[in-house]
Amino acid sequence: MLFGKPKPSEVGLDESERLLEELFAKKLGAWTPRMERFKGELAQVQENFVKACERFDELRAEPYMENLFWMDPESVKRHKVSYSRALKNVIERFTFENDIANPYQKYEAILADAEGMNGEMLKTNATFKQVLYCYSPHIGDFKRISSQLERLLLDIRSELSKKSREYEEYKSLSENISKLESYVDDLNTIGGSIDSILASLDAGRKDAIIKQEHLLLEELNSKKSAAKQIEDDEKALLNKVHGLVSSLGRASKKFDHISPKKLKLNPFVEAPLEHIKSERDYKEFVALLFELRESMDRLDIKNSAEVLRNIEDITGSEFYYMIESARSLNVKKSMAREEVEVAQRMLNELHKSEKDIESMALESESMKKDMERIKNLMEDGKRMVEKQFWSYYAKAIALNVHSAPKEPSS
């Protein structure tokens, strides 16, 4: 094609990083072999340092002691051996080999190792500065090799600086590809979450729950009404029972005071439901009432006419049946209340299910908006990556990022 861009070739997102590495390595061109030569020279310098250390270790020359009269020459000799071996250990601890694939990063790491070695050597020299002074006529090899190392470090820094723009371009494009990969991962994660939510939201489930709620609410209201009726019936019956015995309170106490019997009347009067639990109890109660009636002449009772009338009403009515009915209504009331509580709990559970469905639906909608936002970011990122491939490497590509993320079910 003579003018404009060539037809872009389609490249999958998973292939773009490999393509970038190839294009970057190609753009570096002869720079990489040159850096390999520098690496070889570093290794040679390192080897020369090791040999110089070994020669210095074997040196038998006397130390230069002028102006150092307070020092022991033998001690200086021992420190010479320590220095040469310490320096050799420092040098041999560093290596200029690594498994970094990117050429620029590889030689950055090599430079860092070389500078680290040089720094450790300088620290060792500072520690043994008196040895270097005393053997200054014999450290020419160290000085010469150190100068070679310094020049080599300058050369490597210079070469890295020359390709810093290309590396910054590479980094920018690599970061943008990583962002796209992150967007794809986010879309897949969110899409899976939406599918999971939709799977739990069966079609018509909310409508079915609302219908159940209406039915259960009707049932609950019916049970509440029935429970209320039972409570009203019990209350009315208890009022009738207590109305019959309420006037007997004072008379029963006076009767119990003069009665020689252990069985007393007043407890029956004060709490009839608690003390009349069987027909036998009722008969004992009636017998005591008859005795009270016979003893009225001996008791000073101001409302004696009312007392006699109530005794007749109690003994002549179905009082025991009223007591049993009140007790039965109390049991029915407890059962009715339990039924109301059960129905209320079921209704609350349905309300919670309905709210959960609404919350999940809102969450799903929010996730869909997040997906749209990420898709827009991904489209912008896709265009940026395509632009950078062309701008930096004159490579026209059509990046395929849409095949990766899975679309959620609707």
pLDDT for 191 beyond 60: yes
Residues 222 and 141 in one domain: no
Distance CA 224, CA 216 (A): 12
Q: Which amino acid is at 58?
A: E
Q: Is residue 333 part of a domain?
A: yes
Q: Is residue 18 part of a domain?
A: no
Q: What is the mean pLDDT of the chain?
A: 87
Residues 345 and 219 in one domain: yes
Residues 148 and 229 in one domain: no
* Both tokens assigned to 144: 């010469």
> Where is 10: in which H helix or E strand?
strand 9-12
Domain of 157: which CATH number?
1.20.120
Which domain does 55 fall in, by range?
A: 29-162
Q: What angle is formed at CA 246 by the lines to CA 241 and CA 249, rounded to 5 degrees?
A: 135
Q: Is residue 47 part of a domain?
A: yes
User: Do 293 and 313 touch, CB atoms closer than 8 A?
Assistant: no
Give the DSSP letter of residue 247. Answer: G
pLDDT for 194 beyond 90: no
Question: What confidence tens digit (pLDDT) does each residue in 365-403 have?
Answer: 888 899 899 999 999 999 999 999 999 999 999 999 875
Residues 157 and 211 in one domain: no
Q: Would you state the pLDDT for residue 339?
A: 87
Q: Is residue 176 part of a domain?
A: no
Distance CA 36, CA 107 (A): 9
pTM of the model: 0.62
Residues 85 and 231 in one domain: no
Q: Would you state the pLDDT for residue 406?
A: 47
Residues 126 and 256 in one domain: no
From 167, 147, 170, 171, select the one nearest 159 (Cα to Cα).
167
From 85, 157, 91, 148, select the one nearest 119 (Cα to Cα).
91
Residues 210 and 346 in one domain: yes
Residues 219 and 132 in one domain: no
Give the pLDDT band of residue 405 (cuts 50, 70, 90). very low
- Torsions phi, psi of 404, nearest 5? -80, -55
- Torsions phi, psi of 380, nearest 5? -60, -45
Question: What confidence tens digit (pLDDT) does each residue in 41-71 have?
Answer: 999 999 999 999 999 999 999 888 776 666 7
Q: Is residue 61 part of a domain?
A: yes
Report the domain count for the chain. 2
Percent residues over pLDDT 90 in the chain: 45
User: Do 363 and 197 touch, CB atoms closer than 8 A?
Assistant: yes
From 32, 8, 197, select the one nearest 102 (Cα to Cα).
32
Q: Is residue 404 part of a domain?
A: no
Question: What confidence tens digit (pLDDT) does each residue in 307-357 have?
Answer: 888 888 788 768 888 888 888 888 898 998 898 888 888 888 878 877 877
